[in-house]
Structure 1
Amino acid sequence: MIAKAGKPFTEGEFVKKCILQAANIVCPAKKGQFSNISLSANTVADRISDLSNDIYDQLCEKAKCFSVYSVALDETTDITDTAQLAMYVRGVDDSFEVMEELLTVIPMHGQTTAQEIFHKLCDVIENVGLPWKRFVGITTDGAPSMTGRKNGLVALVKKKLEEEGVEEAIALHCIIHQQVLCSKCLKFDNVMSIVVKCINQIRSRGLKHRRFRAFLEEMESEYGDVLYFTEVLWLSRGNVLKTFFELRAEVKAFMEKDGVSLPVLSDPKWLMDLAFLVDITHELNVLNKKLQGQGQLVSAAYDNVRAFSTKLELWKAQLSQTNLCHFPACKALVDAGTPFSGDKYVDVILRLQEEFDHRFADFKTHRATFQIFADPFSFDVQDAPSVLQMELIELQCNSELKAKFREVNGKADKLGQFLRELSPSFPRLSRMFKRTMCLFGSTYLCEKLFSTLNFNKSKYRSRLTDDHLQDILRVSTASSLRPNLARLCERKRCQVSSSKE
């Protein structure tokens, strides 16, 4: 409970006081027994370490059953400027059960070169007991040390697999990072510079910020404040722009009242640029949220990207015809009498489209595999790899299996049940399905872990040791594994607390 809440180990004493207060009311006769419970900082740290070790032991045991597995890696820097390397594993067993868990968090006190990261990865895989012959995929954040063609981590992993005589692994660049990089082609510096400048002027001084919030309250505005722009946060730009657009009249009135002239807030061309940016960043944020989430299949994530690319084609045609049905902010300005020229924004959509085609080339390479996995019964056999064509024909002609697939299609929890029936008769298709199921489409889990890491190892707990940090993260992020409390209790002897409060 303390680890999951991100509280210091010393909170154990506070928890004990709460227990004793509750016992004094609910069962005063038993208060003496509760007072014997030891919850000192050292005891809490030891218990969290025991829980972490038990989860790790379970992971090692489960890993023995993996038919195939893949890893996702990303790195960050903590409050003490120590590089922290996070590794997640996703494995699929013979029953098509998928498990994804934290492998480890490794502090990198020296250099974070590809060679160093590769050695750490090899050590972790060996310690868990995962054989290289079952390694099928690696997903990274796309940093040069990860994706370098000759000496990057991915290249070193491929060399290792070649030495082991194993089939080449699928290497992917995090689909969410790719999407964020695509959105950076939407420059519009003329818009962002003014928006950020206005927001900073309002929020940089406490008195001015308070006056602005009071002004919004007086005006009965829908929003109570403007938001700071933080470039590293995925959804920040869209949220900042939407709030600013809705409050543009109030911001203009407040700034003029404060003696600051902002003529661009009355410029129809600038306002239309702002409105377009609000609409397109909103759609990009919607896509980003769809790509997030635990347990997401790589084929489903890529389907969302393909759907967005198709939307871009539609928007390009509609903008050229001044059809603004999917651009509400632009439509609101046009309805108010602001002139609109679609050609400028068609070029922006075209540039975004080209960026998507370029960035997602690695996913496009495996498009046929993803489509066979998503719907093997409607895929054109002639477009399938030759090693799968015979089995694919037999599968598509099996009416019984086709009916069962239609029943479970779209239900990820029941998909494994259908795939289990394929194993004996369709070994090659079954292996391809397993390989696809165990791929990470993104490093979302690593990013989520880093949020937990920064919350725990903050400026108030900067002396938290590497071992304790890893124990906290393993316990707080475990999803499918739960500590075996009964077994842990059997191994412990009763230790009476010296504190009798």
Structure 2
Amino acid sequence: MPLSRNTVKDRISKMTKNVSEQLTKDIASCKYFSICVDGSMDRTLSARIAIIVRLSLCDEIREELINLVTLPERTEICKAVVNELNVKNFDFSKEVSVTTDGAPSMVGREAGFVSLAFSSGVSLHYKTGNFVSKILVANFISARPLKTRQFQNLMSEVNSIYKGLLMYNNICWFSRGYILQRIVECFEEIHMFMMDEKLSCQELYDVLWACRLMFFTDFSQDLNDLNIKLQGLGKTIDLIRAFEIKLGVFIHGINTGKFKY
């Protein structure tokens, strides 16, 4: 027997209300939570903000979409996000991190979401890696068409398996590890190119700097592997604990001077 439109509508409304109530209870009972905010434009060119929360509940980690917010003109992202979180009665003392897509509207120094969130008193712990001269060397070559072509010619002359360096992209999660790996694998070619161009880069002659580069590259690759494994459901706690154990092995190796792993 077919259901009427009103019956289906009422059933959907009740299910939506029930899911919302369960989410509110989970938020109130969670030990910690983290926030992910992602901004984009839909087909109608309307600004949309996806607010996703990851909750720590007893022995499980749960991800939930809080809301997909449409931003009217001149609406601050920070205000819209905070309003949505307040509706769900979030306790910001339990917040441990916030993740954004790295766009200027999110991480801008003056009007970015993270900066405004700090100034509004919301306890957001935003962490970003400040790249050192390793990345500046790669971007110096990759960001200039003439230097890029010259470096490609050098790579061809030495029969390298690579045609050039990678350009650093702050938005891509894995860009840091990939670009460092390419710098390490093309270290001699970069050294030759900088010498031929008579460009000053004292770090390339520093053995200690090179050792730190190798170590940082290996560690970035391990972080990339962890981030890839974390994609999907039901893969969080055990993988993180295993990575913590791996960090302990690394620390022990550094303290004892035995770099077996």
User: If the length of structure 2 is used for normalisation, what is the TM-score?
Assistant: 0.62
Alpha-carbon offset, residue 172 of structure 1: 5.9
1:85 and 2:49 correspond = yes
Flag the structure with higher helix content.
1
| Distance (Å, rounded) in 2 between the aligned partners of 1:224 and 1:63 | 59
- The aligned residue for residue 152 of structure 2 is 213
1:292 to 195, 208, 231: 231
Measured against aligned partners, the alpha-carbon deviations of 1:346-375 in whole angstroms (never above 9, x if no partner) come to: xxxxxxxxxxxxxxxxxxxxxxxxxxxxxx
Q: Look up the match of 2:73.
A: 109
Q: CA deviation at 1:318?
A: 1.1
Distance 1:255 1:73, change over 3 A: closer
Of 225, 237, 241, which aligns to 1:302? 237
- Structure 1 unaligned spans of 5+: 1-56, 91-97, 118-144, 147-151, 160-167, 327-501
Displacement, 1:248?
Answer: 0.7
Written as runs of structure 1 = structure 2, the 5 A alignment for 1:381-396 is: none
- Which of 206, 219, 224 is the aligned partner of 1:267? 206
Cα distance, 1:103 vs structure 2: 6.3
Larger fraction in strand:
2
For residue 78 of structure 1, report the CA deviation from its aligned partner. 4.8
1:74 paired to 2:25: no
Can you list the C-alpha shifts for 1:72-118, whole angstroms capped at 9, x where unaligned?
86242659x9742225799xxxxxxx99889645233232366x63x
Q: How much does 1:203 deviate?
A: 2.4
- Is the Cα–Cα contact under 8 Å of residues 36 and 99 in structure 2 kept in the other structure? no
Instruction: Map 1:286-435; keep pairs closer than 5 Å.
Output: 286-293=225-232, 296-297=233-234, 300-326=235-261
Written as runs of structure 1 = structure 2, the 5 A alignment for 1:55-74 is 61=12, 64=15, 68=19, 70=23, 74=37
Q: Distance in 2 between matches of 1:112 and 1:86?
A: 14
| Distance of 2:176 and 2:227 partners within structure 1 | 12
- Rounded to whole Å, the distance in 2 between the matches of 1:155 and 1:65 is 19
Change (3 A) 1:86 1:99: closer
Q: Highest CA radius of gyration, 1 or 2? A: 1
1:283 has 2:222 as partner: yes
CA deviation after TM superposition for structure 1 residue 201, in Å: 2.6
Cα 1:259/1:99, change in 2 over 3 Å: closer
- Cα deviation for residue 193 of structure 1 reads 3.3
Contact 2:39 2:49 in 1 (8 A): yes
Specify every segment of 5 or more residues in structure 2 that has no aligned partner in the other structure, as ranges.
1-7, 25-34, 55-61, 101-124
Please list, as runs of the form range in 1=range in 2, the aligned pairs for 1:40-189 lying within 5 A after superposition: 61=12, 64=15, 68=19, 70=23, 74-76=37-39, 78=41, 83-86=47-50, 104=68, 106-112=70-76, 117=80, 146=82, 153-158=84-89, 184=129
Q: CA RMSD in A?
A: 4.1
- Which whole-Å deviations, capped at 9, do the CAs of 1:195-242 have from their partners, x for residues lacking one? 233223322332321121122122122322111112232211111111
- CA offsets 1:18-40 (integer angstroms, 9 cap, x no match): xxxxxxxxxxxxxxxxxxxxxxx
Residues 183 and 277 of structure 1, relative CA distance in 2, 3 Å threshold: farther
Deviation string, structure 1 residues 238-277 (Cα, Å, up to 9, x no partner): 1111110110100111121122243321211110111111
Q: Contact (CA 8 Å) 2:141, 2:148: kept in 1 or not?
A: yes
Cα deviation digits, residues 372-422 of structure 1 (max 9, x gap): xxxxxxxxxxxxxxxxxxxxxxxxxxxxxxxxxxxxxxxxxxxxxxxxxxx
- Structure 1: how far apart are the matches of 2:14 and 2:236? 25
Asked if the contact 1:70–1:89 (Cα under 8 Å) also holds between the matched residues in 2, the reply is no
Cα pair 1:237 1:281 within 8 Å, conserved: yes
Q: How many residues align?
A: 206
Runs of 4+ in 1 over 6 A off after TM superposition: 98-103, 174-177
Cα distance in structure 2, aligned partners of 1:223 and 1:305: 33
- Asked if structure 2 preserves the Cα contact closer than 8 Å seen for 1:291 and 1:304, the reply is yes
For 1:394, the equivalent position in structure 2 comes to none
